[in-house]
Amino acid sequence: MRADDNLTVERPTFVTHLECSQTGEHYPADRVHNLSRAGKPLLVRYDLGGVRKALTKDALAARPPDFWRYRELLPVRQVKDIVSLGEAMTPLVRMPRLERELGGAEIVVKDEGRLPTGSFKARGLALAVSMAKALGIEHMAMPTNGNAGAALAAYASRAGIRTTIFCPDDTPEVNISEIALQGAAVYRVNGLIDDCGKIVGEGKAKVGWFDTSTLKEPYRIEGKKTMGLELAEQLSWDVPDVIFYPTGGGTGLIGMWKAFAELEAIGFIGSKRPRMVAVQAAGCAPMVKAYDDGVEHAPRWENAHTIASGIRVPQAVGDFLILRAVRESGGFAIAVSDDAIEAAVNEVARREGFLMCPEGGATYAAYKQSLVDGRVSRTERVVMFNCASGLKYPMPRIERRLDRSGPIDYAAL
Ligand SMILES: *Cc1c(COP(=O)(O)O)cnc(C)c1O
Protein backbone atom coordinates (compact mmCIF):
# COMPACT_ATOMS: atom_id res chain seq x y z
CA MET A 1 0.00 0.00 0.00
CA ARG A 2 1.19 3.51 -0.82
CA ALA A 3 -0.10 6.49 1.15
CA ASP A 4 -1.72 8.01 -1.94
CA ASP A 5 -3.26 4.81 -3.36
CA ASN A 6 -6.79 6.12 -2.93
CA LEU A 7 -5.95 9.12 -5.11
CA THR A 8 -3.98 7.33 -7.82
CA VAL A 9 -5.39 3.82 -8.31
CA GLU A 10 -8.44 3.57 -10.58
CA ARG A 11 -11.27 1.56 -9.02
CA PRO A 12 -14.60 0.39 -10.44
CA THR A 13 -17.46 2.84 -9.85
CA PHE A 14 -21.13 1.95 -9.59
CA VAL A 15 -23.34 5.03 -10.00
CA THR A 16 -26.36 4.05 -12.09
CA HIS A 17 -28.49 7.21 -11.94
CA LEU A 18 -29.81 9.99 -9.73
CA GLU A 19 -33.28 9.93 -8.24
CA CYS A 20 -35.71 12.60 -7.02
CA SER A 21 -35.97 12.17 -3.26
CA GLN A 22 -39.69 12.92 -3.40
CA THR A 23 -41.08 11.41 -6.61
CA GLY A 24 -38.45 8.75 -7.37
CA GLU A 25 -38.09 10.10 -10.93
CA HIS A 26 -34.77 9.05 -12.49
CA TYR A 27 -32.10 11.39 -13.88
CA PRO A 28 -29.00 10.36 -15.85
CA ALA A 29 -25.64 10.12 -14.09
CA ASP A 30 -22.62 12.14 -15.23
CA ARG A 31 -24.59 15.29 -16.16
CA VAL A 32 -24.87 18.62 -14.39
CA HIS A 33 -27.87 18.67 -12.04
CA ASN A 34 -29.36 20.82 -9.31
CA LEU A 35 -32.82 20.10 -7.85
CA SER A 36 -35.27 17.69 -9.48
CA ARG A 37 -38.18 18.91 -11.60
CA ALA A 38 -40.28 18.68 -8.42
CA GLY A 39 -37.87 21.12 -6.75
CA LYS A 40 -36.49 18.47 -4.38
CA PRO A 41 -32.97 17.15 -3.70
CA LEU A 42 -31.56 14.47 -6.00
CA LEU A 43 -30.02 11.35 -4.46
CA VAL A 44 -27.23 9.37 -6.14
CA ARG A 45 -28.04 5.68 -6.69
CA TYR A 46 -25.53 2.86 -7.09
CA ASP A 47 -25.55 -0.70 -8.36
CA LEU A 48 -25.18 -2.01 -4.81
CA GLY A 49 -25.21 -5.64 -5.97
CA GLY A 50 -22.14 -4.75 -8.01
CA VAL A 51 -20.47 -3.03 -5.07
CA ARG A 52 -21.22 -6.10 -2.93
CA LYS A 53 -19.28 -8.29 -5.39
CA ALA A 54 -16.42 -5.83 -5.89
CA LEU A 55 -15.66 -4.74 -2.34
CA THR A 56 -14.69 -6.69 0.76
CA LYS A 57 -14.05 -5.48 4.31
CA ASP A 58 -10.50 -6.82 4.07
CA ALA A 59 -9.76 -4.94 0.85
CA LEU A 60 -11.07 -1.78 2.46
CA ALA A 61 -9.02 -2.30 5.61
CA ALA A 62 -5.85 -2.46 3.50
CA ARG A 63 -6.41 0.99 1.94
CA PRO A 64 -4.99 4.28 3.24
CA PRO A 65 -7.06 5.92 5.99
CA ASP A 66 -8.92 8.69 4.19
CA PHE A 67 -12.50 8.78 2.95
CA TRP A 68 -11.52 8.18 -0.68
CA ARG A 69 -11.08 4.55 0.44
CA TYR A 70 -14.86 4.25 -0.11
CA ARG A 71 -14.54 4.93 -3.87
CA GLU A 72 -16.95 2.15 -4.85
CA LEU A 73 -19.66 4.03 -2.90
CA LEU A 74 -18.68 7.46 -4.25
CA PRO A 75 -19.60 9.13 -7.54
CA VAL A 76 -16.18 10.25 -8.87
CA ARG A 77 -15.36 8.01 -11.85
CA GLN A 78 -11.68 8.77 -12.49
CA VAL A 79 -8.80 9.60 -10.17
CA LYS A 80 -7.80 12.60 -12.32
CA ASP A 81 -10.94 14.37 -11.10
CA ILE A 82 -10.37 13.78 -7.38
CA VAL A 83 -9.69 17.06 -5.59
CA SER A 84 -8.08 16.29 -2.24
CA LEU A 85 -6.49 18.27 0.56
CA GLY A 86 -5.74 15.28 2.80
CA GLU A 87 -9.10 14.13 4.21
CA ALA A 88 -7.91 12.18 7.26
CA MET A 89 -10.34 9.73 8.88
CA THR A 90 -11.51 11.62 11.94
CA PRO A 91 -10.92 10.06 15.37
CA LEU A 92 -13.51 8.83 17.84
CA VAL A 93 -12.59 10.43 21.15
CA ARG A 94 -13.97 8.97 24.40
CA MET A 95 -15.02 11.35 27.19
CA PRO A 96 -14.26 9.24 30.29
CA ARG A 97 -14.59 11.96 32.92
CA LEU A 98 -17.95 13.10 31.57
CA GLU A 99 -19.06 9.46 31.39
CA ARG A 100 -18.25 9.00 35.06
CA GLU A 101 -19.84 12.28 36.10
CA LEU A 102 -23.07 11.65 34.20
CA GLY A 103 -23.16 8.02 35.29
CA GLY A 104 -23.91 7.21 31.68
CA ALA A 105 -22.67 4.76 29.14
CA GLU A 106 -19.97 5.39 26.59
CA ILE A 107 -19.79 8.98 25.32
CA VAL A 108 -17.85 9.23 22.08
CA VAL A 109 -17.18 12.36 20.07
CA LYS A 110 -16.36 12.10 16.39
CA ASP A 111 -14.00 15.00 15.94
CA GLU A 112 -14.59 16.48 12.52
CA GLY A 113 -12.47 19.50 13.33
CA ARG A 114 -9.45 17.56 12.03
CA LEU A 115 -10.54 17.79 8.42
CA PRO A 116 -9.10 20.27 5.87
CA THR A 117 -10.49 23.80 6.46
CA GLY A 118 -11.30 22.74 10.03
CA SER A 119 -14.83 21.48 9.55
CA PHE A 120 -16.80 18.57 8.16
CA LYS A 121 -17.96 20.78 5.32
CA ALA A 122 -14.74 19.53 3.67
CA ARG A 123 -16.37 16.13 3.17
CA GLY A 124 -19.27 17.50 1.15
CA LEU A 125 -17.33 20.08 -0.78
CA ALA A 126 -14.48 17.73 -1.70
CA LEU A 127 -17.08 15.61 -3.48
CA ALA A 128 -19.04 18.54 -4.94
CA VAL A 129 -15.90 20.14 -6.36
CA SER A 130 -14.49 16.86 -7.67
CA MET A 131 -17.75 16.25 -9.53
CA ALA A 132 -17.80 19.86 -10.75
CA LYS A 133 -14.33 19.31 -12.15
CA ALA A 134 -15.41 16.06 -13.82
CA LEU A 135 -18.44 17.79 -15.34
CA GLY A 136 -16.54 20.88 -16.55
CA ILE A 137 -18.21 23.44 -14.27
CA GLU A 138 -16.26 26.73 -14.29
CA HIS A 139 -17.89 29.03 -11.74
CA MET A 140 -19.48 27.90 -8.47
CA ALA A 141 -21.53 30.12 -6.15
CA MET A 142 -22.82 29.50 -2.64
CA PRO A 143 -24.70 31.03 0.29
CA THR A 144 -22.96 30.07 3.55
CA ASN A 145 -22.80 30.66 7.29
CA GLY A 146 -19.02 30.27 6.95
CA ASN A 147 -17.63 26.76 7.05
CA ALA A 148 -19.15 25.56 3.79
CA GLY A 149 -17.84 28.64 2.00
CA ALA A 150 -14.36 28.06 3.37
CA ALA A 151 -14.37 24.47 2.16
CA LEU A 152 -15.76 25.42 -1.25
CA ALA A 153 -13.15 28.16 -1.67
CA ALA A 154 -10.30 25.81 -0.75
CA TYR A 155 -11.28 22.87 -2.94
CA ALA A 156 -12.38 25.00 -5.89
CA SER A 157 -9.14 27.00 -5.88
CA ARG A 158 -7.24 23.75 -5.89
CA ALA A 159 -9.29 22.60 -8.88
CA GLY A 160 -8.93 25.91 -10.74
CA ILE A 161 -12.65 26.70 -10.49
CA ARG A 162 -13.88 30.24 -9.82
CA THR A 163 -16.06 30.84 -6.74
CA THR A 164 -18.41 33.58 -5.56
CA ILE A 165 -19.65 33.29 -1.99
CA PHE A 166 -22.29 35.17 0.05
CA CYS A 167 -22.40 35.26 3.87
CA PRO A 168 -24.80 36.86 6.35
CA ASP A 169 -23.04 40.02 7.57
CA ASP A 170 -22.59 38.68 11.12
CA THR A 171 -20.72 35.56 9.95
CA PRO A 172 -17.66 34.94 12.17
CA GLU A 173 -14.76 37.10 11.00
CA VAL A 174 -12.41 34.13 10.65
CA ASN A 175 -14.72 32.52 8.10
CA ILE A 176 -14.86 35.60 5.88
CA SER A 177 -11.08 35.88 6.01
CA GLU A 178 -10.36 32.22 5.29
CA ILE A 179 -12.82 32.23 2.38
CA ALA A 180 -11.09 35.26 0.84
CA LEU A 181 -7.58 33.94 1.53
CA GLN A 182 -8.45 30.67 -0.17
CA GLY A 183 -9.24 32.46 -3.39
CA ALA A 184 -12.99 33.16 -3.47
CA ALA A 185 -14.80 36.43 -4.07
CA VAL A 186 -16.75 36.77 -0.80
CA TYR A 187 -19.54 39.25 0.02
CA ARG A 188 -21.28 40.08 3.30
CA VAL A 189 -25.03 40.37 2.81
CA ASN A 190 -27.49 42.12 5.11
CA GLY A 191 -29.69 39.06 5.58
CA LEU A 192 -29.70 35.40 6.59
CA ILE A 193 -28.42 32.37 4.69
CA ASP A 194 -31.66 31.90 2.73
CA ASP A 195 -31.51 35.56 1.65
CA CYS A 196 -27.99 34.84 0.37
CA GLY A 197 -29.41 31.76 -1.36
CA LYS A 198 -31.82 33.94 -3.34
CA ILE A 199 -28.88 35.95 -4.70
CA VAL A 200 -27.17 32.75 -5.82
CA GLY A 201 -30.39 31.61 -7.51
CA GLU A 202 -30.62 34.90 -9.42
CA GLY A 203 -26.95 34.79 -10.39
CA LYS A 204 -27.48 31.29 -11.70
CA ALA A 205 -30.34 32.51 -13.90
CA LYS A 206 -28.57 35.69 -15.05
CA VAL A 207 -24.92 34.72 -15.48
CA GLY A 208 -24.84 30.94 -15.24
CA TRP A 209 -23.21 30.34 -11.85
CA PHE A 210 -23.44 26.76 -10.64
CA ASP A 211 -25.63 26.76 -7.49
CA THR A 212 -23.69 24.86 -4.79
CA SER A 213 -26.29 25.49 -2.02
CA THR A 214 -26.90 22.72 0.51
CA LEU A 215 -28.90 19.89 -1.13
CA LYS A 216 -29.43 21.87 -4.35
CA GLU A 217 -26.32 20.06 -5.54
CA PRO A 218 -26.42 16.24 -5.44
CA TYR A 219 -22.89 15.33 -4.36
CA ARG A 220 -22.39 17.10 -1.03
CA ILE A 221 -24.63 14.40 0.53
CA GLU A 222 -22.33 11.73 -0.90
CA GLY A 223 -19.38 13.39 0.81
CA LYS A 224 -21.19 13.74 4.13
CA LYS A 225 -22.28 10.12 3.75
CA THR A 226 -18.68 9.13 4.44
CA MET A 227 -19.24 10.07 8.11
CA GLY A 228 -21.60 7.10 8.37
CA LEU A 229 -19.30 4.78 6.42
CA GLU A 230 -16.32 5.78 8.52
CA LEU A 231 -18.20 5.56 11.81
CA ALA A 232 -19.45 2.03 11.07
CA GLU A 233 -15.98 0.88 10.01
CA GLN A 234 -14.39 2.43 13.12
CA LEU A 235 -16.91 0.53 15.27
CA SER A 236 -15.92 -2.77 13.56
CA TRP A 237 -18.94 -2.63 11.26
CA ASP A 238 -21.44 -1.84 13.93
CA VAL A 239 -23.47 1.31 14.63
CA PRO A 240 -23.94 3.19 17.91
CA ASP A 241 -27.28 3.23 19.72
CA VAL A 242 -27.81 6.97 19.34
CA ILE A 243 -26.28 9.70 17.16
CA PHE A 244 -26.59 13.35 18.20
CA TYR A 245 -26.22 15.50 15.10
CA PRO A 246 -26.28 19.33 15.01
CA THR A 247 -28.74 19.96 12.22
CA GLY A 248 -28.78 22.93 9.89
CA GLY A 249 -29.50 21.92 6.29
CA GLY A 250 -29.28 18.31 7.45
CA THR A 251 -26.83 17.04 4.81
CA GLY A 252 -24.93 14.96 7.35
CA LEU A 253 -27.95 13.39 8.96
CA ILE A 254 -29.48 12.52 5.59
CA GLY A 255 -26.09 11.35 4.31
CA MET A 256 -25.41 9.05 7.25
CA TRP A 257 -28.89 7.56 7.02
CA LYS A 258 -28.19 6.81 3.34
CA ALA A 259 -24.79 5.35 4.26
CA PHE A 260 -26.27 2.86 6.70
CA ALA A 261 -28.83 1.67 4.12
CA GLU A 262 -26.08 1.20 1.52
CA LEU A 263 -23.86 -0.64 4.01
CA GLU A 264 -26.69 -3.03 4.82
CA ALA A 265 -27.35 -3.58 1.11
CA ILE A 266 -23.73 -4.59 0.51
CA GLY A 267 -23.76 -6.87 3.55
CA PHE A 268 -21.35 -4.88 5.73
CA ILE A 269 -23.79 -4.18 8.58
CA GLY A 270 -27.08 -5.68 9.73
CA SER A 271 -30.50 -4.06 10.08
CA LYS A 272 -29.76 -2.28 13.37
CA ARG A 273 -29.81 1.50 13.04
CA PRO A 274 -28.81 4.23 15.45
CA ARG A 275 -31.56 6.47 16.73
CA MET A 276 -30.89 9.74 14.89
CA VAL A 277 -31.30 12.85 17.02
CA ALA A 278 -31.50 16.20 15.22
CA VAL A 279 -30.09 18.88 17.53
CA GLN A 280 -30.99 22.53 16.91
CA ALA A 281 -30.59 25.82 18.75
CA ALA A 282 -33.67 27.17 20.54
CA GLY A 283 -33.32 30.39 18.53
CA CYS A 284 -33.61 28.49 15.24
CA ALA A 285 -35.44 25.20 15.58
CA PRO A 286 -37.67 24.60 12.55
CA MET A 287 -37.03 20.82 12.55
CA VAL A 288 -37.86 20.51 16.24
CA LYS A 289 -41.13 22.34 15.75
CA ALA A 290 -42.04 20.22 12.71
CA TYR A 291 -41.10 17.05 14.59
CA ASP A 292 -43.25 18.05 17.58
CA ASP A 293 -46.14 19.08 15.31
CA GLY A 294 -45.98 15.74 13.49
CA VAL A 295 -45.66 17.36 10.05
CA GLU A 296 -43.42 16.54 7.06
CA HIS A 297 -42.32 20.04 6.12
CA ALA A 298 -40.92 22.80 8.31
CA PRO A 299 -42.04 26.38 7.63
CA ARG A 300 -39.40 29.15 7.69
CA TRP A 301 -38.24 30.05 11.23
CA GLU A 302 -38.50 33.83 11.59
CA ASN A 303 -35.85 35.93 13.40
CA ALA A 304 -33.41 33.04 13.59
CA HIS A 305 -30.57 33.67 16.02
CA THR A 306 -27.95 31.53 17.78
CA ILE A 307 -24.23 31.58 18.53
CA ALA A 308 -24.01 28.22 16.75
CA SER A 309 -23.89 29.85 13.32
CA GLY A 310 -23.47 26.53 11.46
CA ILE A 311 -26.99 25.48 12.46
CA ARG A 312 -28.64 28.85 11.90
CA VAL A 313 -30.67 27.66 8.92
CA PRO A 314 -34.24 29.02 8.99
CA GLN A 315 -35.52 26.73 6.24
CA ALA A 316 -34.11 23.53 4.77
CA VAL A 317 -34.95 22.20 1.31
CA GLY A 318 -34.39 18.66 2.65
CA ASP A 319 -36.64 19.10 5.70
CA PHE A 320 -38.77 16.05 4.86
CA LEU A 321 -35.66 13.88 4.46
CA ILE A 322 -34.34 14.95 7.87
CA LEU A 323 -37.70 14.32 9.54
CA ARG A 324 -38.13 10.99 7.78
CA ALA A 325 -34.72 9.72 8.95
CA VAL A 326 -35.33 10.94 12.51
CA ARG A 327 -38.76 9.26 12.68
CA GLU A 328 -37.82 6.00 10.91
CA SER A 329 -34.87 5.62 13.25
CA GLY A 330 -36.93 6.07 16.40
CA GLY A 331 -34.96 9.20 17.19
CA PHE A 332 -36.23 12.70 17.93
CA ALA A 333 -35.48 16.39 17.45
CA ILE A 334 -34.41 18.58 20.34
CA ALA A 335 -33.60 22.26 20.87
CA VAL A 336 -31.02 23.67 23.29
CA SER A 337 -30.54 27.26 24.41
CA ASP A 338 -27.44 29.32 23.63
CA ASP A 339 -26.70 29.42 27.37
CA ALA A 340 -26.74 25.62 27.48
CA ILE A 341 -24.48 25.52 24.40
CA GLU A 342 -21.97 27.88 25.98
CA ALA A 343 -22.02 25.96 29.26
CA ALA A 344 -21.49 22.71 27.36
CA VAL A 345 -18.48 24.04 25.44
CA ASN A 346 -16.96 25.25 28.72
CA GLU A 347 -17.66 22.01 30.55
CA VAL A 348 -16.15 19.76 27.87
CA ALA A 349 -13.11 22.02 27.51
CA ARG A 350 -12.45 22.20 31.26
CA ARG A 351 -13.27 18.61 32.15
CA GLU A 352 -11.83 16.83 29.13
CA GLY A 353 -9.43 19.31 27.53
CA PHE A 354 -11.49 19.08 24.34
CA LEU A 355 -12.42 22.35 22.63
CA MET A 356 -15.70 21.94 20.79
CA CYS A 357 -17.30 24.30 18.33
CA PRO A 358 -20.67 25.69 19.54
CA GLU A 359 -22.55 23.25 17.27
CA GLY A 360 -20.61 20.38 18.84
CA GLY A 361 -21.38 21.83 22.27
CA ALA A 362 -25.05 21.78 21.29
CA THR A 363 -24.91 18.00 20.89
CA TYR A 364 -23.46 17.55 24.36
CA ALA A 365 -26.04 19.92 25.85
CA ALA A 366 -28.77 17.95 24.06
CA TYR A 367 -27.39 14.66 25.38
CA LYS A 368 -27.49 15.93 28.95
CA GLN A 369 -31.01 17.25 28.48
CA SER A 370 -32.11 13.90 26.99
CA LEU A 371 -30.71 11.97 29.94
CA VAL A 372 -32.71 14.18 32.30
CA ASP A 373 -35.98 13.91 30.39
CA GLY A 374 -35.48 10.17 29.84
CA ARG A 375 -35.43 10.21 26.05
CA VAL A 376 -31.99 8.59 26.14
CA SER A 377 -31.06 6.01 28.74
CA ARG A 378 -27.74 5.59 30.54
CA THR A 379 -27.20 2.20 28.92
CA GLU A 380 -27.14 3.58 25.38
CA ARG A 381 -23.88 4.05 23.51
CA VAL A 382 -23.88 7.57 22.17
CA VAL A 383 -21.89 9.27 19.42
CA MET A 384 -21.96 13.05 19.10
CA PHE A 385 -20.49 15.11 16.33
CA ASN A 386 -18.03 17.92 16.87
CA CYS A 387 -18.31 19.27 13.36
CA ALA A 388 -15.64 21.95 13.36
CA SER A 389 -12.54 22.95 15.24
CA GLY A 390 -13.37 25.06 18.29
CA LEU A 391 -10.47 27.28 17.23
CA LYS A 392 -12.55 28.74 14.40
CA TYR A 393 -14.93 30.49 16.80
CA PRO A 394 -14.67 33.64 18.91
CA MET A 395 -13.30 32.88 22.37
CA PRO A 396 -13.45 34.93 25.56
CA ARG A 397 -10.68 37.51 25.95
CA ILE A 398 -8.35 36.80 28.86
CA GLU A 399 -7.10 39.94 30.67
CA ARG A 400 -4.87 38.42 33.36
CA ARG A 401 -1.30 39.79 33.15
CA LEU A 402 1.99 39.30 34.95
CA ASP A 403 4.58 42.05 35.50
CA ARG A 404 7.99 40.36 35.19
CA SER A 405 9.84 43.43 36.54
CA GLY A 406 8.25 43.23 40.01
CA PRO A 407 8.37 40.43 42.63
CA ILE A 408 6.34 37.36 41.65
CA ASP A 409 4.28 35.58 44.32
CA TYR A 410 4.71 32.06 42.93
CA ALA A 411 2.59 30.42 45.61
CA ALA A 412 -0.38 32.51 44.45
CA LEU A 413 -0.06 31.64 40.74
C1 LIG B 1 -22.82 23.23 8.46
C2 LIG B 1 -22.59 22.98 9.86
C3 LIG B 1 -23.51 22.23 10.61
C4 LIG B 1 -24.79 21.69 10.04
O5 LIG B 1 -24.56 20.65 9.13
P6 LIG B 1 -25.68 20.13 8.15
O7 LIG B 1 -25.25 18.76 7.77
O8 LIG B 1 -25.73 21.05 6.99
O9 LIG B 1 -26.97 20.12 8.88
C10 LIG B 1 -23.20 22.01 11.94
N11 LIG B 1 -22.08 22.49 12.50
C12 LIG B 1 -21.16 23.17 11.79
C13 LIG B 1 -19.93 23.64 12.49
C14 LIG B 1 -21.39 23.44 10.45
O15 LIG B 1 -20.47 24.14 9.77
Q: What's the mean pLDDT in 139-151?
A: 96
- Residue 310 in contact with ligand 1 by CB distance below 6 A: yes
Q: What's the mean pLDDT in 146-164?
A: 98
Q: Whose CA is nearest to atom 8 of ligand 1?
A: 249
Q: pLDDT value at position 396?
A: 86
- Residue 388 in contact with ligand 1 by CB distance below 6 A: yes
* Ligand 1 probe mutation, 142, 306, 326, 359, most atoms within 8 A of CB: 359
- Residue 41 in contact with ligand 1 by CB distance below 6 A: no
Give the residues across from 206 on adjacent strands. none
* Ligand 1 probe mutation, 123, 147, 384, most atoms within 8 A of CB: 147
Q: pLDDT value at position 318?
A: 96
Coil, strand or helix at 148: helix
The verdict on residue 351 lying in a domain is yes
Q: pLDDT value at position 2?
A: 87
Convert the pLDDT of each residue in 76-117 to its tens digit.
999 999 999 999 999 999 999 999 999 877 899 999 999 999
User: What percent of the chain clears pLDDT 90, i.e. is strictly above it?
Assistant: 96
Distance between Cα 255 and ligand 1 center (Å): 12
The identity of residue 238, as a single letter, is D
- Residue 182 in contact with ligand 1 by CB distance below 6 A: no
Crossing angle of helices 121-134 and 147-159, in 10° steps, is 30
The verdict on residue 352 lying in a domain is yes
* Ligand 1 probe mutation, 119, 196, 311, most atoms within 8 A of CB: 311
Mean pLDDT of the chain: 96
Domain count, the chain: 1
Distance between Cα 318 and ligand 1 center (Å): 14
Q: pLDDT value at position 172?
A: 86
Convert the pLDDT of each residue in 372-402 to its tens digit.
999 999 999 999 999 999 999 988 899 999 9
Coil, strand or helix at 214: coil
Q: What are phi and psi of 44, to 5 degrees?
A: -85, 130
Coil, strand or helix at 10: coil
Give the sign of the dihedral formed by CA 178, CA 316, CA 385, CA 130: negative
User: What percent of the chain clears pLDDT 70, i.e. is strictly above it?
Assistant: 100
Residue 143 pLDDT class (50, 70, 90 cuts)? very high
The verdict on residue 237 lying in a domain is yes
Q: pLDDT value at position 366?
A: 98
The verdict on residue 284 lying in a domain is yes
Q: Is the pLDDT of residue 326 over 90?
A: yes
Q: Whose CA is nearest to atom 10 of ligand 1?
A: 310
- Residue 255 in contact with ligand 1 by CB distance below 6 A: no
Q: pLDDT value at position 142?
A: 97
Residue 282 DSSP class = T
The HSE-up count of residue 349 (CA atoms within 13 Å, CB side) is: 16
Decide: residue 260, CB within 10 A, 0-12 exposed, 13-18 middle, 19+ buried.
Answer: buried
Coil, strand or helix at 277: strand
Decide: residue 344, CB within 10 A, 0-12 exposed, 13-18 middle, 19+ buried.
Answer: buried
The verdict on residue 191 lying in a domain is no
Distance between Cα 175 and ligand 1 center (Å): 14
Q: Domain span at residue 319?
A: 92-117+219-390
**Percent helix / strand / coil, the chain, rounded to 5:** 45, 15, 40
The verdict on residue 377 lying in a domain is yes
Q: Maximum distance among all alpha carbons in the chain?
A: 77
- CATH code of 369's domain: 3.40.50.1100
- Residue 228 in contact with ligand 1 by CB distance below 6 A: no
Q: What is the DSSP string of 29-76?
A: SSS---S-TTS--EEEEE-HHHHHHH--HHHHHTS-SBGGGGGGGS--
Q: pLDDT value at position 103?
A: 87
Q: What is the DSSP string of 161-209?
A: -EEEEEEETTS-HHHHHHHHHTT-EEEEESS-HHHHHHHHHHHHHHH--
The model's pTM? 0.96
Distance between Cα 247 and ligand 1 center (Å): 6
The region of weakest confidence among 74-78, 168-172, 255-259, 345-349 is: 168-172
- Give the atom of ligand 1 at the shortest distance from the alpha carbon of 224: 7
Sequence-distant (6+) residues with CB within 8 A of 123 are 67, 87, 112, 115, 223, 224, 226, 227
Q: Whose CA is nearest to atom 14 of ligand 1?
A: 310
Residue 305 pLDDT class (50, 70, 90 cuts)? very high
Q: Are 236 and 230 in contact (CB under 8 A)?
A: no
The verdict on residue 67 lying in a domain is no
Q: Which of 298, 250, 256, 278 is nearest to 362 (CA)?
A: 278
- Residue 251 in contact with ligand 1 by CB distance below 6 A: yes
Q: Is the pLDDT of residue 68 over 80?
A: yes
- Give the atom of ligand 1 at the shortest distance from the alpha carbon of 359: 11
Residue 41 pLDDT class (50, 70, 90 cuts)? very high
- Residue 286 in contact with ligand 1 by CB distance below 6 A: no
Radius of gyration, alpha carbons of the chain: 21
What is the spatial distance between Cα 387 and Cα 253, in angstroms, rounded to a whole number? Answer: 12
Q: What's the mean pLDDT in 67-76?
A: 98
- Give the angle subtended at the CA of 175 by the CAs of 283 and 190, to the nearest 5°: 60
